[in-house]
Amino acid sequence: MDLKHFIRDIPDFPKPGIIFKDVTPLLRDPEAFKESIELLKNAASFWDFDLIVAPEARGFIFAAPLALEMGKGFIPIRKPGKLPYKVISKSYSLEYGEAALEMHKDAIVERNKVLILDDVLATGGTIKAIAEMIEEAGGEVAGILTLIELSFLEPRKKLKDYQVKALITY
């Protein structure tokens, strides 16, 4: 199954000049969604890890079923003010602005091996911020896995210290 067929381009979202890669058609099709989780599982099996970390919101959609399927824990990364406990916070740049993320301070402990999963890898800013939070907490980034990579934005330059895999590349 060609998952690329289920990715829709939305021009000028969230601002003019950006072409947003919309995964909702893939999620709407149960066979395509199932196939994406299976392919992510196959790709993730390359790494030895304890936990899967993903940013809200679309990262959650792929990471939660993958964590269950692989018998791993899931750690949500949220926007500021959404987590009820003490947090580690990190600000970063997006291709269209600035943002910040938070993770519970006790979510990752010393020597946890962590897989970072997201739907789209664009500039690498979000993933780099997550990797820094994991390392600040004492964890180790086992690898980075995404459904889509926008290689023309050269995200791997920011992530040169990590192993990165993507199922679909543009």
Give the whole-angstrom CA distance, residue 60 versus residue 82: 14
Is 88 within the bounds of a domain?
yes
pLDDT at 93: 76
Is 22 within the bounds of a domain?
no
pTM: predicted TM-score of the whole model, two decimal places: 0.95
Low-confidence ranges of the chain (pLDDT < 50): none
- Number of structural domains, the chain? 1
Is 73 within the bounds of a domain?
yes
User: What are the Cα distances from residue 12, in Å, to 19, 114, 168?
Assistant: 6, 34, 21
**Which domain range does residue 106 map to?**
48-169
pLDDT at 95: 63
* CATH number for 66: 3.40.50.2020
Is 12 within the bounds of a domain?
no
Is 52 within the bounds of a domain?
yes
- Catalytic site residues? 58, 95
Is 76 within the bounds of a domain?
yes
